[in-house]
Amino acid sequence: MPKLLRLRQLSPEEDQEIDRLVRSRTASVRQVERARIIDLARQGQRLPAIAAAVGVSPPVARRWLDRFNTQGIVGLADAPRSGRPATYPPEAVGELIAASLSDPQTLGLPFGSWTLDRLATYLSETKGIAMKRSRIGAILQAEGLRWRQQETWFGERPDPAFAEKRGPSSASTPRPRRTAS
């Protein structure tokens, strides 16, 4: 059976901060919930009633009361979590971004624009960074970079001799109507 857990005596600063957090509209929902647990305990409610009022399980309410008793207001914040380590170090990501922003011809490469496959090959052969094509695209997208310009089908063609090279329109294409100006 768990031991009886009581809220320790709060300092005036902690008392004010708990009041502020309970009424806060800008603090995170988690912090407001945890401050409500402390506030209800301060009012003398028992653990099962506190858990029911806040909508958490009694062990969760017990954990936050215990953390507050040992750490104070700081204990109500989320503890940092480890998470998965970065797959590629920042140096490798920097090399990728620098390469993608450079002109391939200035690097002595025989093509005029980058593709994801070309970037992957360049990084692997020249820089010794093995990075998958899909990951390159995700990193560039996260940085707000587009790995190629999308062709627009409206407006001027980039090739001034496009109409001559294309040739005449087919006979099935109707001629545009002439309008009086």
Q: Is 155 a residue whose pLDDT tops 60?
A: no
**DSSP string covering 123-163:** IIIII-----HHHHHHHHHHTT--SSPPPPSSS--S-TTHH
Q: Which of 30, 65, 27, 34 is nearest to 47 (CA)?
A: 65
Average pLDDT over residues 79-101: 88
One of 1.10.3470, 2.30.30, 1.10.10, 3.10.450 is the CATH number of 12-76, namely: 1.10.10
Q: How confident is the model over 71-88, as a mean pLDDT?
A: 87
- Positive or negative: CA dihedral 61, 67, 68, 70: positive
| Banded pLDDT at 158 (limits 50, 70, 90) | low
pTM: 0.49
SS3 content of the chain, % helix, strand, coil (to 5): 55, 0, 45
For residue 153, pLDDT beyond 60: no
Structural contact between residues 95 and 127, judged by C-beta atoms closer than 8 angstroms: yes
Candidate from 78-82, 114-118, 125-129 with smallest mean pLDDT? 78-82
Residue 57 has pLDDT above 90, yes or no: yes
* Distance between CA atoms of residues 60 and 64, nearest Å: 6
Q: What whole-number percentage of the chain has pLDDT above 70?
A: 87
